[in-house]
Amino acid sequence: YAGQDDTDGNASVDGYRTAWERCLAHLTAEIDSLYKPTVASVIHTIATAYTTVLPGLPYPELPTIAVHNASPLFINTLLKHLPDNVLTSPLFPSDITTLTAGMKNLISGFLDDTTRPTNSRLAAYDIGLLEDVDDPLVVILHDFEQIDVAIMQDMLHICSTKPLSLIFLIFLNSPSTTPSFIHTTYSRNTLCRLRIQSFSSLPFDSNRLLEHLLLKTFFNPAFTPDLVLGPTVLESIIDFFLRHHSSVDTLLTTLQLAYLKHFLIEPLSILNNPPTTLTNDSILSLLSSRLNLPVDPTVLLSHLHQHHSTFFHNYQNFRLGLTLLFEVYTFLIKKGYKPLRHWENQGGRTKVIVNALRGYVDRDIKTLSMYVRKLRQEPFRELVLLVNAVFVSLPEEMRKSQKEAMKFVDLEDGDEFGDGLMQYLMDLLQPLDRSPLWDIWYTGSTPFPTELLNPSIRASIVNGLLHPYEFTIPIPINTMNTIINEEDQDEHTTTKKSIHELPDTSILFNRYMNGAGKLINVYDWYQSFKSVLEIQRKEQEEEEEEQSKRRVEEEVLGTKKGKAKRKAKTSPTKKGKTKEKTQLEDNEHETQRQSTTIINNNESYQQEIQARFIRSLHELDYLGFLKHTGRRKEHVVRTVFDVVD
């Protein structure tokens, strides 16, 4: 099993990548299918922008395509489908800070060094540079709401003065409303120069989008993801999507975080795809304790494969049951019945999915079966045909496994059919956490890491400055190409560091938090910072002294061994005098060198302390912890007064 013997988490990361890439590929395919109609309409509008010009206009209109709810994924999909003969000039709000900069960036997007006229006397921001370009020119405006309105109006007026094949493609983050952002913000004089056609990137609202993607990805009988999301994670993702940011990119980010957390906190997640052999002792021990079996690789591997098949068989049944449940419900709604009104009031199908995973849908199944029993002959036959169509659309293996259980479809009596459907749905929609080792392939009740999506920035910064080694590996260890095992990590995180062992900014911030009053005297602050660095210096000198002693001892031992092997070539008296004289000269030179070094080191060390203090002070100032007062220049004002733990 590749990566199984790694102790640094590489196997878990590899498992996460494999599972997430497979899920992402399916999600992207589903999203592309939703984007396809809008992309085709926009491409057709660009191709026919100058073929359907209304006659008799007082001045030319600029074809303008406004796409609402445009996510980065939609923009990338659309730009990939643009024809080859279309030239594009992408512009962001940072490119349009002034009128001159905006026009220059617009023109330079179409003209490179090879296509720009060499003998032209026109300025780089003159729209006349584009008069010789015959291809369609599409100006792509990203984050249109953030562009300065006055500058944009002037640019549109300039572009409308020349007979160019310009097309403005505007991407808006706001939803499509009446009137739209463009009509409420821009003047009538500007709007009359534009021929605006509006599109929405998605054909339906955010709630239906979420339902569609979740059902097609995690509860689709034709697709089996490697990791199944539990009700707690799904509930958090649904709440964040509908309450905070209803975009496709947000959904992909939250799903990716859920996958990543599962593979990082679940030690057996590296067995998500069961291997052919098991050799890792820690995995064998953990698997043995989970299954209450002896540590025998063959036996454990056999049980692992068996439980993997059992879990995904139950998951397959669950997906089929949920599909049938929604099909029957939709059929009854179309026929004018209102069997389960609380579904729409409590959040639609996404809430039903969460309740089904928790095993809370038995009452809803009984209600649906009651309505099925009351159907007349013609609607009843239509329902039977619908259930048969669902059965036929299943993959072949699933169809074979469900053939016996689906015999109730052949029943012609409405009561018997309703009872059979009710029992069949109850058997299918069983909770997924009842089989052994389910937590390898299912998140269950594990909470979603909401703090990663909506963190408390202020508290995180303060905590990070006070306890930096709880967030990062200490610098001396991080620079070494070694892998830290779990015991070393626990030692670094649990042992409380002394203040002189912290980085400079953390040392200064500790003194900041321990200060009294609203004002801080910068000189006193510097002296307290300097006193901590003196402790650092003493420890470094002691460590260097110990290292030098060890080196001297090693050299002495090496010299003695060398002397034992060599024979003396000079007389003992002459050798002793020469050695004594050389030693005296070396001592004098060493004393002079040390005195000079001490003076130079003290001066350079004082400068180093001052530089380190100023650098840390600037970092705290940049983070917003300081406020400068104009009257007392030797003082700064504190902005945070939290109590240090």
Residue 611 pLDDT: 92
Mean pLDDT, residues 32-48 taken together: 91
Model confidence at 644, pLDDT cuts 50, 70, 90, reads low
Which residues neighbour 548 within 8 Å (Cβ) at sequence distance 6 or greater? none
Question: What is the per-residue pLDDT across 45-69, written as a single tens digit (0 to 9) for each?
Answer: 999 888 877 777 777 789 999 999 8
303 and 244 belong to one structural domain = yes
Residues 386 and 241 in one domain: yes
Is 232 found in the same domain as 175?
no
User: Which of 329-333, 558-562, 583-587: highest mean pLDDT?
Assistant: 329-333
Asked if residue 232 and residue 153 are part of one domain, the reply reads no
Residue at which a domain ends, from 137, 171, 203: 203
pLDDT band at 6 (very low <50, low <70, confident <90, very high): very low
Inside any domain, residue 41? no
Task: Specify if 372 maps to a domain.
Answer: yes
Distances (CA, A) of 336 to 321, 329, 363, 375: 23, 11, 21, 11
Across 192-246, the runs of DSSP E, i.e. the strands, are 194-200
**The pLDDT of residue 487:** 45
Residue 563: inside a domain: no
| Confidence check: pLDDT of 526 > 60 | yes
Distance CA 366, CA 385 (A): 21
Please name every residue paired with 140 in a beta bridge, in sequence order, or none if there are none. 90, 169
Question: Has residue 104 been placed in a domain?
Answer: yes
Name the residue with higher pLDDT: 9 or 135: 135
How far is 449 from 451, CA to CA, in rounded Å?
5
- Structural domain tally of the chain? 3
Distance CA 144, CA 173 (A): 8
Residues 196, 271 within the same domain: no
Q: Does 517 lie in the same domain as 369?
A: no
List the domain range (segments joined by +) for residue 512: 464-553+606-638
Phi, psi of 58 (to 5 degrees): -65, -30
Contact 480, 266 (CB under 8 A): no
Q: Are residues 193 and 337 in the same domain?
A: no
357 and 300 co-located in one domain: yes
DSSP string spanning 537-588? HHHHHHHHHHHHHHHHHHHHHHHHHHHHHSPP-S-HHHHHHHHHHHHHHHHH
pLDDT tops 90 at residue 618: yes
Q: What is the pLDDT of residues 410-465, one digit of tens each?
A: 777 778 888 888 888 999 999 998 888 899 999 988 888 887 777 778 888 888 88
Residue 143 lies in a domain: yes
Task: Indicate whether 361 and 481 sit together in one domain.
Answer: no
Q: Which has the higher per-residue pLDDT, 9 or 618?
A: 618
Distance CA 115, CA 331 (A): 61
Query: Domain for residue 580, yes or no?
Result: no
* The last residue of a domain, from among 143, 173, 203: 203
Residue scoring higher pLDDT (581 or 367): 367
Least confident range from 14-23, 359-368, 625-634: namely: 625-634
Residues 52 and 91 in one domain: yes
In a domain? residue 319: yes
Identify the domain boundary among 203, 227, 243: 203
The pLDDT assigned to 593 comes to: 58
CATH number at residue 168: 3.40.50.300
Q: What letter would DSSP give residue 139? A: E
Q: Which one-letter amino acid corresponds to residue 387?
A: V
Claim to verify: residue 76 and residue 193 sit in the same structural domain: yes
343 with 477, same domain: the answer is no
- 456 lies in a domain? no
Phi, psi of 256 (to 5 degrees): -65, -40
